[in-house]
A and B are shown apart, each in its own frame.
Chain A
């Protein structure tokens, strides 16, 4: 399957992120086998699969933390396979982690400030120590950008709280805010609902939809919550044992026999009912 061309990209537009025939081997183990996928502009793409399917490995390859054994990764049509994670961030790749990777010594606002400065004033990381900027306040433009983002994520009220003192749901929002402050064109979300209850999950879904609508960001999300993926994503890829076994719209994936057999199990009717029930609950919460 050449999935890189399967996702629905409008004519004349270039996919924000593509994986072409990515294979990742660890010794004799093939974690990803010839996987191809595409993330078109302004879309939310899901990546699902059972435990051990290779989702996290593929995420590491896409974000540049691992270099694939074979295959290529493109951003906006350019080959970034050999680019470092930093270079991919500069090209517009953002990400969150399954277990929030936050800087516990910094406040919520500082998370957004450092991400904003990395985007708008990369040199300041190096020049501030000789230009004595530490003793001067931040610029008005920076304040405005950070405050607007905090407001849109409803983080203003905890702006000066240390992230180490926040509940998990808030931490996920801070992670998202930090990623957005760097103004990415495509965002990788690693299990954004992990550890959240139904209400919190519904809140996160709503925030993600709003971000795509308002900022035009593309998203690729790995998620175990099938109901969330079915309800949120425009297009879904399914991995099993490192190989891509299906790709399509939520309805297409839901009815794909290979997915049912490999991912959902054999007792399909019962599971289908469960998914439908969960999806209905999610829709009800977010409407």
Chain B
């Protein structure tokens, strides 16, 4: 037993360092770092490159990686991106850090090479010395991990409690505004926190590499485990995060003592421990408090009072456009533009052939899948990081119905998607009362759990070849299948447009903006609305997954890892999350851009598209609408300018409507209302 506990403490210590770093960063900067796993991977890869590829000794490689490169990386990312995120919504913060998460691993591959590293050296000299405590083996790697955790806890606690800078950090955590008024520079503190937390991410990656391997998957799992501890600490309590992380590590190793060494139960249960902890923590908070809302870091009463309301003139113009686009007739500039783009997209199967046609068909399917994000994020206003899991489940269900049960292809596809939909409804019901961060964390966990528990079942995996799926007979050619997919895309798109323009759309718009007013003024059933959107998003994702399986001829669960789902999200938000046209363009971009790089450029460039997609998501910090929506807006502005010049003749110029609102018109506008009443 002691052996298992010691091993578990080592694993738990790595979780604890990661959880402590994520918690401190969140409470002091207000940003939950979804890129932590990629930070860890990137810096561990730097260490590996210096130590293994260039034969630097351990101390030199560790010092340069963790005390020079990591803080510099944190400082650069803070200056370029992270400082802009503070004032953004939680959704933008999550998506932008996911952009970093997506961009860093391929950047590491470009810089340091593409090789797969399943076991990398840690900080202990090799061969790793093994000591014996009470007769039980403890490796030098494990001892180093314990030492680092103890050192970080002692130094960190002493620093925060007994130093002047620690006092400033704690002041900043309580209230950013009052801390500023007391002469504390929040930016300097935030910069320091990001430098330190990036170094800790690097340390976590280096310490985890010998056991978890130097892979993005390993680091994603590590990050998800750390998130479980952070959630158990309600995103705030450092001691709780550290203790829960340690316990998770111990439990993970101790249960292995009681499970058969090689069995599906052990394979499934052991990696599930952090996810079970997260689910239990959320359930406890839900039962105890009735809801689980995000805690605003650095948010005192003064911070709330001085928080900007609305986005000033620029925001007002954007809202004006959004309202205009919605309320105008069907033949508005934007809708005509959308139809033109969709018309061009519809011609692609005719224009393209061979390899490029296959990319177009796949792009159409991804476009359909991306519409599930448009439903969830664009209409429902909630960020689900597990939609790819529903696509995977849709593929599995379609394959089982068609190949195992002998159903015809089309009913198998539709019923397969319908079978998956209740799972999405259940997830929606469970997460509906959570704050945005918790929804993202819970669904990320759900995705990883499905990947671990369901996608690994041999009934679906079939020794890694998957279950075969065939297309409907009348879609045998790529061109006919392309138009089959496009027809489904258009049906879903028209359904979405109708929904947006209907009472349901108005109600959803209301619920997205103010849940309090939606329930206590309009009496809307916000939970019901969000469950409806959960169902629609799940159905569309599952339908897309089934089509993807049909197109490739195989339903292979490993084609739907959670990490790839984050890349999907990055691609879509880069183009625009609320636009149907953007979903179709994002789908095509996801297949054609890598195709172009692979066809016309050398192999090294193969990772560039992923970096670009990640950078696109990061760009949301600057323009939250995405590139296509942003470009459409500019074109619309240009069109309006041209039209207004044409109407520049003073005789034909329409008068400004009475009472139209301009900046600074507040008092006058209301006074006007009152005067009319009095007269």
Contact = CB atoms under 8 A, between A and B. Distances in A.
Interface of A: 63-65, 84-90, 94-97, 99, 101-107, 110, 113-115, 117-118, 121, 124-126, 128-129, 132-135, 153-155, 157-158, 160-162, 164-170, 173, 178-179, 182, 196-197, 199-200, 202-203, 206-207, 210, 286
Nearest to A131: B502
B677 interface: yes
A202 B311 CA distance: 29
A35 B368 CA distance: 56
Interface stretch (B419-427, B472-480, B491-499, B549-557): B491-499
Q: Is the interface of B mostly helix, strand, loop or mixed?
A: helix
Given A125-B507, A128-B498, A160-B324, 15 more contacts: A85-B523, A89-B519, A118-B523, A125-B504, A132-B498, A153-B673, A154-B676, A162-B316, A164-B315, A167-B665, A169-B666, A170-B673, A197-B667, A206-B674, A206-B678
Interface string B458-499: 000000000000000000000000000000000000010111
Contact of A105 (B319, B516, B659): B319
9 tightest A-B contacts by CB? Answer: A167-B666, A203-B674, A89-B523, A169-B670, A157-B659, A134-B501, A128-B502, A134-B502, A165-B316
B650 interface: no
Nearest to B510: A103
Contact of B661 (A88, A94, A101, A158): A158
A125 B514 contact: no
Contacts of A155: 673
Interface residues of B, number: 59
27 contacts: A64-B520, A84-B519, A85-B523, A86-B525, A103-B514, A104-B319, A113-B506, A114-B506, A114-B510, A114-B522, A124-B504, A125-B504, A126-B528, A128-B503, A135-B498, A154-B659, A157-B657, A158-B660, A164-B315, A167-B667, A168-B666, A169-B666, A170-B661, A170-B666, A178-B522, A182-B521, A182-B522
A173 B320 contact: no
B517 interface: yes
Contacts, number: 204
A96 B523 CA distance: 13
Contacts of A101: 514, 516-517, 521
A17 to B, nearest CB: 14
B667 A105 contact: no
Contacts of B671: 199-200, 203
Interface string B505-541: 1110110111011111111110011001000000000
A188 to B, nearest CB: 9
A11 B528 CA distance: 42
Interface string B640-666: 000000000000000001111100011
B521 A129 contact: no
Nearest to B320: A162
Given A125-B524, A178-B521, A200-B670, A106 B676 contact: no
Main secondary structure of the interface of A (DSSP, over half): helix
Contacts of A203: 670-671, 673-674, 677
B158 interface: no
B433 interface: no
B672 interface: yes
Contacts of B160: none
B327 interface: yes
A89 B323 contact: no
A155 to B, nearest CB: 8
A169 B669 CA distance: 8
Given A162-B316, A166-B661, A65 B522 contact: no
A162 B323 contact: yes
Interface string B320-352: 101110010010000000000000000000000
Given A89-B521, A199-B671, A129 B310 contact: no
B496 to A, nearest CB: 9
B512 A129 contact: no
A105 B660 contact: no
Nearest to B511: A103
B656 to A, nearest CB: 11
B500 interface: yes
A168 B309 CA distance: 11
B319 A103 contact: no
B497 A134 contact: yes
B523 A126 contact: no
A235 B655 CA distance: 47
A173 B498 contact: no
A115 B669 contact: no
Contacts of A173: 670, 673
Contacts of A117: 503, 506
A35 B96 CA distance: 49
Contact of A162 (B309, B319, B521, B529): B319
Nearest to B497: A134
A170 B310 contact: no
